[in-house]
């Protein structure tokens, strides 16, 4: 797969995250870009560190870390941040599956 196509799921999921955050609390685009970058970096670090533990364990740690990043960067409540992270993850997975298939 070409490297540029691999970034499409992140762009689609980040756009959905921005639209939902803007709808929830009028969050500027710059904060969402920082949040998506930090979520991506944390995802890579978690996968590198916790790969031997299994996918379910690393996914649960990723969800917690991504929710905390979203809370701190976007200044949203815990439940709104958790909802955004869940939606972001599902959109990313669905977009990835569409591109791969």
Tally the domains of the chain.
Answer: 1
In this prediction the pTM is: 0.82
Residue 1 lies in a domain: no
Handedness of CA 30, 33, 37, 39 (dihedral sign): positive
Q: Name the residue among 8, 9, 10, 27 with its Cα closest to residue 18.
A: 27
Is 2 among the domain residues?
no
Residue 77 lies in a domain: yes
Q: Residue 41 is part of which domain span?
A: 8-95
What does the pLDDT look like over 6-54, one tens digit per residue? 778 888 888 898 899 889 888 888 998 899 889 888 888 888 887 777 7
Residue 76, by phi and psi: left (phi above 0), alpha (psi -120 to 50) or beta?
beta
Side-chain-side CA neighbours of 23 within 13 Å: the count stands at 8
d(CA 84, CA 46): 19
The confidence score (pLDDT) of residue 1 equals 56
CB-based contact 73:96 (threshold 8 Å)? no
C-alpha span between 70 and 42 (Å, rounded): 12
Asked if residue 3 belongs to a domain, the reply is: no
């Amino acid at each position: 797969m070409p490297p540029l196509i691999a970034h499409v799921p992140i762009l689609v999921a980040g756009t959905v995250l921005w639209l939902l955050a803007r709808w929830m609390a009028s969050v500027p685009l710059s904060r969402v870009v920082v949040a998506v970058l930090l979520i991506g970096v944390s995802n890579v670090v978690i996968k590198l560190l916790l790969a031997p533990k299994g996918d379910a364990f690393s996914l649960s740690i990723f969800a917690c870390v991504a929710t905390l990043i979203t809370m701190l960067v976007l200044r949203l409540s815990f439940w709104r941040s958790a909802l955004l992270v869940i939606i972001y993850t599902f959109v990313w997975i669905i977009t990835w599956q569409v591109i791969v298939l």
